Structure 1
């Protein structure tokens, strides 16, 4: 009897959490809206500033990497940029070499900026901000994976084992040059 009561209580507690994780983003009446499976996931749509968008409470955080700096934009539910007035924050950094550090986010126009140490190849960034009376955070992973490897096309999941030029593909198949089966990138 106690066990079934505990299961029922756990299910009731989890229900509001799963409902809160599903939300719409500025959908117009009659337009298809996309739902999300979990807080902090990648968004399937284009980000306003060309970065990576994560859900952070009722807001979104967009991370844009540029040489020597990280730019963080606070976005509302419709992905419109929110002015960072009174917003403070930090970003925890993990490099590809496994070193960690923390950088302060400072306001710069319509967003926040953190300066990166020279030569940093960033793997993970955890952004924490205090905005509009709320504490928001988002984790951005595999940031170094977005850099193209020499000899491989960006976004290609398969290549010829003989390294034939022009063989990169996003799906399995045969090499257009030598006819060998393409192999999945590791």
Structure 2
């Protein structure tokens, strides 16, 4: 019985490491491939890139493999200052969802990205794209 308890404890410690590895704090220490901000959305990684009136979301798995976006649908809710905008995201290429709308860029900007991939449940990720991350300034 003692060995079973130790085995279960060891297994829980090993598997819990993965959960810590993909927290927002951890992802903020990683350089994003397209210069955006990384977040987890279910079992996927989303990278958000925000430009004036344009939102791009790159979809990958944990290993960085592109997740096809050709039949995906999504929206981005942008909170910038006192303004709120909803941007419809549509497939743009390979693993990219893109949309345009009227919204301002502000340091306190928050973006909530909601997507649905074919045959999957809806996923959501929350971003603070204009706040400094731990990789900036290094």
Q: TM-score, normalised by structure 2?
A: 0.71
Per the alignment, residue 103 of structure 1 pairs with: 87
Structure 1 distance, partners of 2:98, 2:91, is 6
* Contact 2:70 2:93 (C-alpha < 8 Å) held by counterparts: no
Which structure carries more strand by proportion? Answer: 2
Per the alignment, residue 112 of structure 2 pairs with: 126
* Structure 1 vs Structure 2 CA RMSD: 2.8
Larger Rg: 1
Per the alignment, residue 135 of structure 1 pairs with: 122
Q: Structure 1 residues 42, 63: closer, same or farther in 2, change over 3 A?
A: farther
- Superposed counterparts of 1:1-186, under 5 Å: 22-23=17-18, 35-36=21-22, 38=23, 40-41=24-25, 43=27, 44-96=29-81, 98-110=82-94, 111-117=96-102, 120-122=104-106, 123-132=109-118, 133-141=120-128, 143-146=129-132, 155=137
Number of aligned residues: 119
> What stretches of structure 1 of length at least 5 have no aligned partner?
1-15, 25-33, 147-153, 156-169, 171-186
Q: TM-score, normalised by structure 1?
A: 0.55
* Contact 1:42 1:53 (C-alpha < 8 Å) held by counterparts: no
> What stretches of structure 2 of length at least 5 have no aligned partner?
1-11
Structure 2 distance, partners of 1:62, 1:70, is 10
* Contact 2:34 2:49 (C-alpha < 8 Å) held by counterparts: yes
Which structure carries more helix by proportion? Answer: 2
Identify which of structures 1 and 2 has the higher relative contact order when contacts are C-alpha pairs closer than 8 Å and 6+ apart: 2
* Contact 2:86 2:101 (C-alpha < 8 Å) held by counterparts: no
